[in-house]
Amino acid sequence: MRLMIVFLFNRVLHAVAVLFGVVSVTFVLINLASDPLAGLIPPGASPDVEAQIRHVYGLDRPLVEQYVDFSSRAMRADFGDSWRQGRPALGAVVERLPATLALTALATALAVACGCLLGVVAAVRPGSTWDGIARLSALLGQAIPAFWLGTVLILVFAVDWHWLPSSGLDGPAGVLLPALSLAAYPAATLTRLLRAAMIETLGADYIRTARAKGLSPRRIAIGHALRNAALPALAVTGLQAGFLLGGAVIVEGVFAYPGIGGLALDAVAARDIPLLEAFVWVVALLIMAINTLTAVIASLLDPRLREDGLAFGGAG
């Protein structure tokens, strides 16, 4: 128990440091890209009007002072009001967050289910037809962009067959096509990784001993080999969950899905800096939470990770 508490404390400290780094990088990139108020100053505005607008938004202060003020507020989850919506920026992001979490959770579940099934089948029967199908599926899943796959799914299942809605979130069916588009790449990655790990594990000495004892192939594959081969797959699953949160920005735009991805695209188009900063902060926080949860699960599966106080290199 003590080791687990120390482990979690170290992860929290690491998460705070990473969050501060994300906040700092966000501020630098926004100010390097262009003038933050370029989209708010009316064309042909006089210098007096421009100076007044800059004063209202606090952009007439020295850059260092702006950074200190922004970073201190951001670490307290205070991003001010959205420039376009006129309400707290963080509240606008949190309002859309449940839809994105539902999409990411379903996409992760589909990726894990498909990746584990194809990876295990391919490893148990290498060189078979099932192995060929699994490897081809993994190749296609990694080669096809999510936005292109989403467009094809809309044409087939929504336009031609009228089975599922093409956009929005009209009931549970509205999340299925975006989730399939998001799940393809991580499912392919898990398939290839789990196949390689399972093949290596099935050649270990303790697996040969289990076969000599007369254990069934299914029990050997699921009860013995899969548990050891699952650790690297678990690490990749945590990373892929973060990838899904980032990839949701594009996919939500394709499907007009009412999540934080679509909100971020609107914020970029409207140059709504507080809203964009709140979006980056929320996504970074979610990714760190997912990585911490993955590390905890891994430490429970393999106590050596917990005893060292690290999981997957201590980075999340």
**Residue 31: inside a domain:** no
Residue 154 belongs to domain spanning:
89-314
What's the CA gap between 231 and 190, in Å, rounded? 12
What's the CA gap between 155 and 164, in Å, rounded? 10
**Residue 68: inside a domain:** no
What is the value of pTM for the model shown? 0.79
What's the CA gap between 217 and 219, in Å, rounded? 6
Cβ of 10: how many Cβ atoms within 10 Å?
15
Q: How far is CA 29 from CA 37, 112, 247, 276, 280, in A?
A: 14, 34, 20, 12, 12
**Cβ distance 230 to 159 under 8 Å?**
no
Tokens representing 174? 């509205």
**Residue 1: inside a domain:** no
pLDDT for res 304: 59
**Residue 48: inside a domain:** no
pLDDT in tens, 70-123: 899 988 889 888 888 888 999 999 999 999 999 998 998 999 899 888 888 888
What's the CA gap between 35 and 63, in Å, rounded? 12
CATH number, domain containing residue 154: 1.10.3720.10
What's the CA gap between 201 and 221, in Å, rounded? 9
Sign of CA dihedral 19, 239, 250, 113: negative
Cβ of 121: how many Cβ atoms within 10 Å?
18
Q: How far is CA 254 from CA 102, 259, 265, 284, in A?
A: 17, 12, 11, 23
pLDDT for res 89: 92
What's the CA gap between 191 and 114, in Å, rounded? 8
What's the CA gap between 268 and 249, in Å, rounded? 11
**Cβ distance 30 to 278 under 8 Å?**
no
pLDDT for res 177: 92
Q: Based on C-alpha coordinates, what's the Rg of the chain?
A: 24
What's the CA gap between 291 and 106, in Å, rounded? 18
* Residue type present at position 45: A
**Residue 82: inside a domain:** no
What's the CA gap between 15 and 34, in Å, rounded? 29
DSSP 223: I
Ranges assigned E (strand) in 183-286: none
What is the count of structural domains for the chain? 1
pLDDT for res 314: 44
**Residue 186: inside a domain:** yes
**Cβ distance 123 to 220 under 8 Å?**
no
pLDDT means per 10 residues, the chain with 316 residues, are 72 84 88 74 78 81 88 89 88 92 90 89 86 90 90 92 84 88 90 86 78 75 72 74 78 88 84 88 87 74 55 42
What's the CA gap between 313 and 278, in Å, rounded? 29
What's the CA gap between 165 and 167, in Å, rounded? 6
What's the CA gap between 122 and 53, in Å, rounded? 62
**Residue 34: inside a domain:** no
